[in-house]
Amino acid sequence: MGKRKKSSRKPTQTRVRVPLDTAFTCLFCHHDKSVTVRIDRKEGVAQLVCRVCDQRYQSKVNHLTEPVDVYSEWKEMCDMLEEQRKAKEVGEASVRRS
Ligand SMILES: [Zn+2]
């Protein structure tokens, strides 16, 4: 049996304040870090905008909302719209065919 070191626990409380990522990849033009999120907590709104293709999205925020939350919300919305668009395309295609 080897010796047990009592204090081998690493201090994990190195809470470095990393500035939160506020620039993301655009879902439309796919430019890296072209999408920025600005959160206005006073107004309770977040503005997401791509400086390359000018895509915009606005969302409501609370005091816990982080830019990445707004981004993922936008992403979800875009996924949904994309699905709707596809569904519509399929529908229109079948209408055209008949
Ligand atoms: Zn873009």
Domains of the chain by start residue, with CATH: 23-97 (2.20.25.190)
pLDDT single digits (tens) 32-45: 999 999 999 999 99
Q: How far is the CA of 26 from the centre of ligand 1 (A)?
A: 4
Model confidence over 41-79: pLDDT tens digits? 999 999 999 999 999 999 999 999 999 999 999 999 999
Find the 54 Cα to ligand 1 centroid distance in Å: 6
Instruction: Say how many C-beta atoms besides its own lie within 10 A of residue 46's C-beta.
Output: 23
Task: For residue 96, give the H/E element and its range.
Answer: helix 67-97
The pTM assigned to this predicted structure is: 0.70
Q: How far is the CA of 45 from the centre of ligand 1 (A)?
A: 20
- Other CB atoms within 10 A of residue 84 CB: 10
Rounded distance from Cα 47 to ligand 1 centre (Å): 14
